[in-house]
Amino acid sequence: MSRPQTAPPTLEDVARVAGVSRATVSRVINGTRNVDRKIQEVVRAAVDQTGYAPNRAARSLVTKRTGTIALVVSGAGEQGEEDAFASRVFADPFFGRVASGVVGFLRTRGVHPVLMVADTDRAREDVLAFLRQGSADGALLVSTHAEDPLPARLAEAKVPAVLFARPARPVPISYVDLDHQAGAKLAADLLVELGCTQVATITGPLDVPASQNRLTGFRDAMARHGFPYVPIAEGGFTAASGEVAMERLLAEHPGVDGVFAANDLMAQGALNILQQHGKRVPQDVALIGFDDSGPALACRPQLTTVRQPVEDMAAEMARMLLGQVDDPDQRPRSVIFEPSLVVRGSA
């Protein structure tokens, strides 16, 4: 460290110390081309000695790559409640799992995710501009809203992008998703196996494909078991909405003995209400959640739930995105993950 307070060392500095040209240093750093063994060592020594680290802006300027991707959470833009959207979505354990999977995958690849929230038209334009002028190499999109225009915009801008979950309306864009129907079937099968005969379900917002698929899958499986009618109550993927839904279900169908909630948060809410009404879970009512996120373990009894491997799915998104960045002409692909049943105490 010969230069205490000064500007960071540049390629030029390293080259001078090593007694070679900038180009050579650049080559050994990037591992391109053949460079003489001996020279490589000399250069590496000079790098260590100077504490050199490449300037990403300069590199990016010439390579047109940033080593950065956007991790964007997109949602409905209720005017004037922007921050509310952000806090709602970041409070959901689901998003934490996505972030965890993405970071876990990217960390070893020298790529960094920048967090963006796209909850208004303005914010969406910002995201688009950010991507279009190359501030990031691509985007990972978690959309919470069916009418989200961002997927289509990204596709038409030909920005490398991967979605979590299939978009509500067809868009030529890559995504990872879960076999929601299979997951719902897992729940239905267990409920029937347990002997439940009055089964109901708390769905997610029905404009979201995942909610629809879970509902459809559940109904189909129940029908196949000889239960053509399944009462439903629509929730909003929050614990509070799960409570409201369960109240309604109980009011309309007091004899319900099995409930499938489309996520763990709503299952948690349902559990609260069930217990409040003196129903024992799982003895009086069997309850199954979806996701297998943190709250499932915090409940008493712990939630039997359909596990969605969110971290793996997020990692796969990142993998796909990087592939797309390397080869922009790749056509859209999708990877579907299989859910699994995690049996705990609630069913």
Name the segment binding DNA (CB under 7 A); options: 9-17, 108-116, 311-319, 320-328.
9-17
Query: Between residues 54 and 323, which has the closer beta carbon with respect to a second copy?
Result: 54
Q: Which of 294, 326, 328, 345 binds a second copy (CB under 8 A)?
A: 294
Q: Which of 22, 112, 253, 344 binds a second copy (CB under 8 A)?
A: 112
Query: Between residues 72 and 191, which has the closer beta carbon with respect to a second copy?
Result: 72
Q: Which of 132, 225, 253, 319 binds a second copy (CB under 8 A)?
A: 132
C-beta separation of 241 from 269 below 8 A:
yes
Q: How far is the CB of 31 from DNA (least distance, A)?
A: 10
Coil/strand/helix, residue 305: strand
- Burial level of 79, CB count in 10 A (0-12/13-18/19+)? exposed
Query: Between residues 92 and 218, which has the closer beta carbon with respect to a second copy?
Result: 92
| Tokens (6 digits) for 273 | 């209400």
What does 23 interact with, of DNA, a second copy, none (CB < 5 to 8 A by kind)? DNA
What does 45 interact with, of DNA, a second copy, none (CB < 5 to 8 A by kind)? none
Footprint of a second copy on 152-211 (CB under 8 A): none
Q: Which of 16, 44, 49, 54 binds DNA (CB under 7 A)?
A: 54
In the 8-state DSSP scheme, what is residue 123? Answer: H
Query: Angle, nearest 10°, between helix axes 11-18 and 37-50?
Result: 120
Footprint of DNA on 21-40 (CB under 7 A): 21-24, 26-27, 29-30, 32-36, 38-39
Coil/strand/helix, residue 150: helix
Please give the span between the terminal C-alpha atoms of the chain, in angstroms, as a whole number.
63
Half-sphere exposure of 341 (CA within 13 A, CB side): 19
Task: Give the span between the Cα atoms of 154 and 173, in whole angstroms.
Answer: 8
Q: Which of 4, 7, 195, 278 binds DNA (CB under 7 A)?
A: 7
In the 8-state DSSP scheme, what is residue 109? Answer: G
Coil/strand/helix, residue 52: coil
| Tokens (6 digits) for 281 | 């879970």
Could you say whether residue 59 binds DNA (CB under 7 A)? yes
Nearest Cα to 43, choosing from 15, 68, 83?
A: 15
Using CB under 7 A as the binding criterion, the count of chain residues that bind DNA stands at 29
- Rounded to 10 degrees, the C-alpha dihedral 28/48/56/103 comes to 100
Footprint of a second copy on 221-260 (CB under 8 A): 239-240
Q: Does residue 339 have a cis peptide bond before it, meaning omega lies within 30 degrees of 0?
A: no
Distance of CA 92 to the CA centre of its chain: 11
What does 11 interact with, of DNA, a second copy, none (CB < 5 to 8 A by kind)? DNA
Give me the residues that bind a second copy (CB under 8 A), please: 8, 53-58, 60-61, 66, 68, 71, 82-83, 86-87, 90-93, 95-97, 99-100, 103-104, 107, 112-117, 123, 129-130, 132-135, 239-240, 265, 268-269, 272, 275-276, 293-295, 297-298, 300, 311
Give me the residues that bind DNA (CB under 7 A), please: 7, 10-12, 19-24, 26-27, 29-30, 32-36, 38-39, 52, 54-55, 58-59, 61-63
